[in-house]
Chains A and B, each alone.
Chain A
């Protein structure tokens, strides 16, 4: 190998390594944004559950949590860009099925957005029982999607 060729090969390798490092950092950021999103939602759901478990739930608190979930929920459709699944080699609970069965996944995501909105509307109406039911329905959409598309251990 001539020295020119060696330089060319080395440069090429370095460029590729740099490019993939930049991409990996990108994907890592995507995964982190996703994780933070679900963390926020999980937190608000837990607070909601504690409110209704007490026996004397405060509707103003429920309104606050429901509004938080409702305002976050629609973001879900932007949080699963192609390449951010397990094939990235990074730590993620997102299963490959999210992209291979994207129609089902989109439907589950849509169901969640709708349920979260209904939860916020029910809370706004002030009807505790309707709010509880809407909260349970929202939790069910989390569960349905997690069972199909979220890895148990990651």
Chain B
């Protein structure tokens, strides 16, 4: 591989969001399958905060985290798809800094499904009628149970999307020789040909995003707490 230059591709807030989300969803899965509902609620409410942060960051964050940077029209998706199997020969190296046109839609799908999943969880009522989402008082028992079923169903969908996500990472690693995991940890990637890295989000935008995250988490925790 020709020597390129390392540039910043993912800002710290985006990476933190990503890995906290992995942790939150992973623990959410574990607490659900072991019936630790009280912990599950705390985690799910944290994930709700993370998602709200990510929406904010998608409009006012670093350049590669912005939706308009990676949600692109079908023409560009198809054009990118055509080059997908041409392995990193010079001149055909990935021209995208950040999400490529296909990856962008996969991220959008993951975020939308997670919003639906967490949204259902907020209204879900458990079979004992006692452990329930922080907004379940807005719906009756039957709709709360329905939300609970949809919450479970959405998780099955999430498993499929996560599988595709991991398969794509493996594909880039094994076929295209690009370590996406490393980039999501260090925030850096090899730019070839050399070019500018990401344009970071402003500090004030990060402060607002962090406040949104905390406000949502704390607010939901308070709503579901049995005082």
Chain A interfacial positions (CB closer than 8 Å to B):
39, 41-46, 48-50, 52-53, 55, 132, 135-136, 138-139, 142-143, 146-147, 150, 152-153
Contact = CB atoms under 8 A, between A and B. Distances in A.
18 contacts: A42-B127, A42-B141, A43-B129, A43-B140, A45-B128, A45-B130, A53-B223, A55-B227, A135-B130, A139-B128, A139-B129, A139-B130, A143-B35, A143-B126, A143-B127, A146-B128, A147-B35, A153-B152
A44 B37 CA distance: 19
Interface stretch (B3-11, B68-76, B131-139): B131-139
Given A45-B129, A46-B132, A52 B227 contact: yes
A48 B226 contact: no
B227 A142 contact: no
Nearest to B126: A143
State the main secondary structure of chain A at its contact with B: helix
B226 A43 contact: no
Interface residues of B, number: 23
Contact of A53 (B125, B129, B224): B224
The interface centre, meaning the residue of B129, B132, B137, B224 with most chain A CB atoms within 10 A of its CB, is: B129
B129 A44 contact: yes
Contacts of B224: 53
Interface of B: 35, 37, 125-132, 136-137, 140-142, 144-145, 152, 223-227
Contacts of A136: 130, 226
Given A49-B132, A143-B128, 11 more contacts: A39-B141, A43-B129, A43-B141, A53-B137, A53-B226, A53-B227, A139-B129, A139-B130, A143-B37, A143-B126, A143-B131
Contacts of A55: 227
Nearest to A142: B128
Contacts of A44: 129
B134 to A, nearest CB: 9
Contacts of A49: 129-130, 132, 226
Contacts of B223: 53
Contacts of A52: 226-227
